[in-house]
Amino acid sequence: MRMRFLAPVVLCAVVLASCGGGSNESKTEKKEETVSETPVDNSMVTPGAAEAAASKGAALIEQKDCKTCHKVDAKLVGPGYKEVAQKYEATEANIETLAGKVISGGSGNWGEVAMTPHPDVSKDDAKEMVKYILSLK
C-alpha cells in the first residue's frame, strides 16, 4: 500500500523539479543592459557583407581541391593561406592577379613546386576565393 502512495508522490516531485520554475528576471535584465549601449551608425554598411564574401570564398575552396596543397595556418605543398594574406594586401590589383594565378597556375613565387592550373574555376569564383584568403590576416 505504501508503494502505491509513494510512487506518484516521487514522480510528481521529479517532474516539478525538472521544470525549473525559475524566474525570468535575469534574462530581462540582460536584455535591458544591451539596449542601453550607445548605438552604432551602420547605415552605409550592408549587414553581413564581409562575412558573406568570406563565407562564399571559403565554401568555394571547400568544393575544390585546394586543401590538397594548402592549409590555413601552415605550409603543406603550397603556402598557408595566412602566409599569402601576409604577403599581399587586399587590393583590386592583387585580387585580380592572384585570381589569375588560381586559374592558370604557375611557379616561382613560393618555391620550385608549381601550382596546378584550375581552368574550371570562373574568374568571379577565383576572386571570391582570393578575397577570403586575403581576409585571413
Query: C-alpha grid cell for residue 38?
Result: 550607445
Q: For residue 98, how many other CB atoms are within 10 A of its CB?
A: 21
Domain count, the chain: 1
User: pLDDT digit string (tens) for 54-111?
Assistant: 679 999 999 999 999 999 999 999 999 999 999 999 999 999 999 999 999 988 888 8
Range of the domain at 130: 49-134
Question: What mean pLDDT is predicted for residues 119-133?
Answer: 95
DSSP structure class, residue 51: H
Question: pLDDT tens digits, residue range 13-31?
Answer: 665 565 555 555 554 454 4
Examine residue 18 and state whether it is found in any structural domain, yes or no: no
Question: Is 119 among the domain residues?
Answer: yes
